[in-house]
Chain A
């Protein structure tokens, strides 16, 4: 990889999500200044944007380059808006992030070493997975042919009909767009580069969840992370558990749902329901639903099921039935994707 490619990947997978997320969090009422929250909201926004643009463009027969250009323009506009809206807040976020390390417990270093160990394993080692014949090859095909699912992923021959189960959740097109914008081969991106960001994101979500559960007690949060790291690393006794998917093939959409999206939905549900979040928190939850619909067709029902159960658990203790409406509205991306699937299959 060249220096230019490294700079571009840091731009699209670090700076852009941070700025895009900051625009969403700017309108939140409380606990909105951590780097992890900006990053999570930014990635969820990027997922949602990919879903909203890619789905109609696939059916319209558009090119990948068109999708990538529109996608990047929208994100750049969002980033500029974010810099304007957050001109005083961005320094505060950076300060808060730096300050959070002041209370850093000694075992926090073990957590960081363990997280980087998991990242190192993804970068240095390989896991060959047959499912990549679809997930990675569709991204490679999109880049090499400048198309969006126009060609059969397995054979490369012109597609006669869409395989709706896969097309309805076009996560490979996210990988393809990033590949197009960074000039990094989609297979390298999926197998070696993006796992770095997905693993970091997964632990950022654990951090946020821990902050909610332990009321920002940093010592307890890092203990929580320490045990989470061990559970994931030693989660190999069950190959179908989310722990296994997280550390073996996180580049596949379904694995990101299991390791990032479901905990993220739980975290955002706590913000919206228990911490009296405002519309911006619900919007972030809506983006998470869009992300789930983008990542895998199972996300279309798994994400609403998760939110539905969280809502029922909330209603048992609070009886504020208004949240049912908000939760239903935030599930709209999944509902619409489901309807499109039923109509088009």
Chain B
């Protein structure tokens, strides 16, 4: 039962705020809907699929019952904002803009209107291709080159038919199996996986700036990891700690960037 409809309505608004970002495109969208209402209200297809559809979608998506149903039964990870994808923001704005330009009779006016609308879009938006989103590709796989090099070295080091079980520093855990699906790992992205028990401990240790190598190697040995990939920047610099890896039977076989590859030599 919904205990407080206002809370769910509020939640719907909050998700919408997450979805719209700066909100400028939504302003353009609403202006476009108004334009379509004024200009094309007699044309059934356009009114139905752009105007009526948008209004019904908005009414449904902000309905507390919908937010409640989605949160309780459909979405378990707070991604209600994805449901707003059904609002046709781009088609509606693009349609209204194209109609506005087509409505001008002279070629010069059409050109000026087009440029003005494009400038408004540029002003209201933000280029998708910024450095936060994109960087020059290291390789065609589009995964960090270190992950590829590490996999290649391990494959060279391992014997035919040998099962490779890795303990990988968390920052590389998401990428190893995007390159080589045969490699086994103690945990994947954000420590996820189907292993349990000591995994959380080792995951936390590997993220720590003061790694307890003795504990890590103990767990690696217990869980049958035959390769360890550790971040050298987080490793303790004193020899006894590093030597503990050798005591547990792991020997450094190669280095890729800041990562050291240890192999089980027992």
| Known contacts A235-B128, A236-B130, A309-B53; is-contact A228 B194 (Cβ 8 Å) | no
A84: shortest Cβ distance to chain B, in Å? 35
Find out whether the CB atom of A306 lies under 8 angstroms from the CB atom of B193: no
Of residues 5 through 64 on chain B, the ones whose CB sits less than 8 Å from some CB of chain A are 18-25, 44-50, 52-53, 56-57, 60
Q: Flag A153-181 by CB within 8 Å of B: 1 or 0 each.
A: 11111011000010000000000000000
Which residues does chain B contribute within 8 Å of A269, judged by CB atoms?
49
Find out whether the CB atom of A240 lies under 8 angstroms from the CB atom of B93: no
Find out whether the CB atom of A137 lies under 8 angstroms from the CB atom of B137: no
Most B CB contacts (10 A, CB to CB) among A152, A154, A192, A219 go to A154
A126 at the interface (CB under 8 A from B): yes
Which residues does chain B contribute within 8 Å of A107, judged by CB atoms?
114
Find out whether the CB atom of B143 lies under 8 angstroms from the CB atom of A233: no
Of residues 265 through 282 on chain A, the ones whose CB sits less than 8 Å from some CB of chain B are 266, 269-270, 274
Find out whether the CB atom of B83 lies under 8 angstroms from the CB atom of A244: no
Find out whether the CB atom of B174 lies under 8 angstroms from the CB atom of A133: yes
Find out whether the CB atom of A192 lies under 8 angstroms from the CB atom of B142: yes
Stretch of B184-192, B209-217, B231-239, B241-249 with 4 or more beta carbons under 8 angstroms from chain A: B184-192
A323 at the interface (CB under 8 A from B): no
A-B residue pairs in contact (CB < 8 Å), sample of 8: A130-B174, A140-B177, A209-B91, A210-B95, A226-B118, A241-B85, A306-B86, A313-B56
- Interface residues of B, Cβ cutoff 8 Å to A: 18-25, 44-50, 52-53, 56-57, 60, 74-76, 79, 81-86, 88-91, 93-95, 97-99, 101-102, 114, 117-118, 121-122, 124-130, 133-138, 140-144, 173-175, 177-190, 192-195
Q: Which 4 pairs of residues, A with B, have the shortest CB-CB distance? A: A154-B188, A238-B21, A234-B125, A144-B181
Known: A224-B95, A318-B44. 18 other contacts (CB 8 A): A125-B136, A132-B174, A133-B173, A133-B174, A154-B187, A155-B184, A155-B195, A157-B194, A157-B195, A212-B45, A223-B101, A227-B117, A235-B125, A236-B133, A240-B82, A240-B84, A263-B91, A266-B53
